[in-house]
Amino acid sequence: MGEQQHVTFPQEVIDEYAALGVDLVAMFSAGHLGTRMGVEIVEASAERVVGTMPVEGNTQPYGLLHGGASAVLAETLGSVGSMLHAGSSKIAVGVDLNCTHHRGVRSGLVTGVATPVHRGRSTATYEIVISDDQQRRVCTARLTCLLREAPAR
């Protein structure tokens, strides 16, 4: 855990943010919490965001993946999708997160895939499906973000 891995963005998105002096990979590194939890974003666009997180280090007392860890992965992925949809002139602020936990996981890596349900001017909603190493659904989440004008840089 710790170091953030390479994040894939469409070149036009990288160029848009670079023109504003923003390091897009650093911006979407999952932050300090995501880094501590080992979240890695491996693919990112407004249409699909994929990330992984190890189960080890993110468990509850019974040795199962903590539901809050799934929520962190889901909110991270949905927020990245919302920010990419909104563009560089807006910021995405999570206003609703709903998680349904389907099965326990004791080891390995979980993978989350965020896809848009709604992408509007003022809100964006993403469904995030988290699966285990055997592609079994562990958690289904839905995140809605409010899209606000970015403060002047």
Residues labelled as active-site residues: 75
> What SS3 class is residue 133?
coil
Q: Determine the distance from the C-alpha atom of residue 100 to the mean position of all C-alpha atoms in its chain, rounded to a whole number.
A: 16
Q: Determine the distance from the C-alpha atom of residue 66 to the mean position of all C-alpha atoms in its chain, rounded to a whole number.
A: 17
Taking the C-alpha atoms of residue 85 and residue 140, their distance in angstroms, rounded to an integer, is 21
Taking the C-alpha atoms of residue 43 and residue 59, their distance in angstroms, rounded to an integer, is 25
DSSP string, 44-106: E-SS-EEEEEESTTSB-TTSSBPHHHHHHHHHHHHHHHHHHHH-TTEEEEEEEEEEEE-----
Taking the C-alpha atoms of residue 153 and residue 10, their distance in angstroms, rounded to an integer, is 23
Give the DSSP H or E segment for 126.
strand 123-131
